[in-house]
Amino acid sequence: MSVDLRDLAVDIAHEAGELAARRRAEGVRIAATKSTLADIVTEADREVERLIRDRLARERPADGIIGEEYDPVPAEGLTWIVDPIDGTVNYAQGLPFWAVSIAVVSGPARVGEWTAQAGAVFAPATNEMFSAALGAGARLDVGDGTSVALQVAEPSAAGELVATGFGYDRSTHAADLAEIARLLPFARDLRRFGAASLDLASVAAGRIDAYSERDLKAWDHAAGALLVTEAGGAVSFLDTMGARPRIVAGSRPAHDRVVAALRE
Ligand code: LIP
């Protein structure tokens, strides 16, 4: 079942990504701001989420939906967790690091309580489709038809390449930086790409060793976290700052090293 769900997630993410890319080429219009002035919604975010919801309503009418831009649709069985454009600031600024992220989960639709069954993260700018199904592994399909199984990175004597992010609330940036500073003594270097789903996909692909960011929303990490675990990595949520849990994802050694440093 998970493999069929993955195939559907891949198909919808592809169609959604193509629409987002077309709109990007036509010019981005900001529709609104959310938590802060930096936290933008483009008209494309809304249109792309509507496309995803319409397809799910047609093909999986009994399932629930939690999406970034519209109200949740509750359901008893499966729930789809949707970010129509993750990395909206990159998208609006013409930077290529943005993606459509779609996961489907069973159990309670709450982080930490659900079981992710399948997920897809599609990056139109590079034509890369990352996908996973529970128990069936994670893979990367590229535009030329190449498909590779994803595997997290092996430890390197150079140290860990670690990605992070800081969200849109400036008042939290200093505390987040102080936490990330604890990784610098052993990290090879830091990266801040600007799209959590692709940070997680990059961990799954072994392009970076670990990723950690506080206060992500469910749609930012639902698909990407499954990519990491299905690629042999580990994901956990630390509650070092109470209500704003910090995700840590990485190969098992990199994950453990980051968790230990953050807990010191
Ligand atoms: C964003 C991310 C980004 C993170 C922001 C935000 P959006 O998602 O993926 O990396 O730092 O907090 O969640 O708003 O572009 O979908």
Identify the pLDDT of residue 95.
Answer: 97
The pLDDT of 213-237, averaged and rounded, is 97
DSSP structural state of residue 127: T
> Which phi and psi angles does 101 have, rounded to 5°?
-125, 125
Rounded distance between C-alpha atoms, residue 185 and residue 199, angstroms: 21
pLDDT at 100 over 80: yes
The answer, yes or no, to whether residue 41 has pLDDT greater than 90, is no
Report how far ligand 1's centroid is from the alpha carbon of 199 (Å): 10
Mean pLDDT score, 73-101: 96
Q: Is the CB of 87 under 6 A from ligand 1?
A: yes
Interval 89-112 mean pLDDT:
94
pLDDT reading at 242 higher than 80: no
The residue whose C-alpha atom lies closest to atom 6 belonging to ligand 1 is: 167
Indicate which atom in ligand 1 lies nearest the CA of residue 193.
10
pLDDT of res. 110: 86
Q: Which of 88, 220, 221, 246 to mutate to test the pocket of ligand 1 (most atoms within 8 A of CB)?
A: 220
- Residue 31 confidence (pLDDT) above 90: no
pLDDT in tens, 117-173: 999 999 999 999 999 999 999 999 998 889 999 999 999 999 999 999 998 888 889
CA dist list (Å): 87 to 33, 41, 63, 160: 14, 11, 26, 23
C-alpha distances (whole Å) from 185 to each of 24, 160, 215, 251 are: 40, 10, 24, 19
Q: Is 234 in contact with 137 (CB distance < 8 Å)?
A: no
H helical segments located in the chain:
2-26, 43-59, 88-93, 173-181, 196-204, 218-230, 252-263
In this structure, are residues 213 and 164 in contact, taking their beta carbons and an 8 Å threshold?
Answer: yes
Q: Report the separation in Å between the CA atom of 220 and the middle of ligand 1, taken as the mean of its atom positions.
A: 7
Q: Residue 240: pLDDT band by 50, 70, 90 thresholds?
A: low
How many percent of the chain have pLDDT more than 90?
81
Q: What is the pLDDT at residue 241? A: 61
Give yes or no for residue 88 CB within 6 A of ligand 1.
yes
Give me the pLDDT at residue 35, please: 82
Ligand 1 in reach of 163 Cβ (< 6 A):
no
DSSP notation for 143-162: TTS-EEE--PPPP-TT-EEE
* Structural domains of the chain, with CATH: 2-149 (3.30.540.10), 160-262 (3.40.190.80)
Query: Do 91 and 101 meet the contact criterion of CB atoms below 8 Å apart?
Result: no
**CA-nearest residue, atom 4 of ligand 1:** 167
Q: What is the mean pLDDT of residues 41-70?
A: 95
Q: How many CB atoms lie within 10 A of CB 229?
A: 17
For residues 2 and 137, give the distance between their C-alpha atoms in angstroms, rounded to a whole number: 11
Specify whether the CB–CB gap between 172 and 75 falls below 8 A: no
Q: What percent of the chain has a predicted confidence (pLDDT) above 70?
A: 98
Pairwise pLDDT comparison (243 vs 205), residue with the higher score: 205
Strands 115-123 and 234-238: unpaired
What ligand 1 atom has the least distance to the C-alpha of 86? 16
pLDDT at res. 33 = 84
Count, residues in the chain: 264
What's the whole-number mean pLDDT along residues 100-126?
95
- Decide if pLDDT at 194 tops 70: yes
Q: How far apart are the first and last CA of the chain?
A: 42
Are 72 and 65 within 8 A, CB to CB? yes
**Mean of all residue pLDDT scores within the chain:** 94
Looking at the CA of residue 166, tell me the nearest atom of ligand 1.
Answer: 11
Do residues 129 and 11 touch, judged by C-beta distance below 8 A?
A: no
Helix, strand, coil percentages (3-state) for the chain, rounded to 5, are 35, 30, 35
Chain Cα centroid distance, residue 151: 17
Q: What is the pLDDT of residue 239?
A: 83
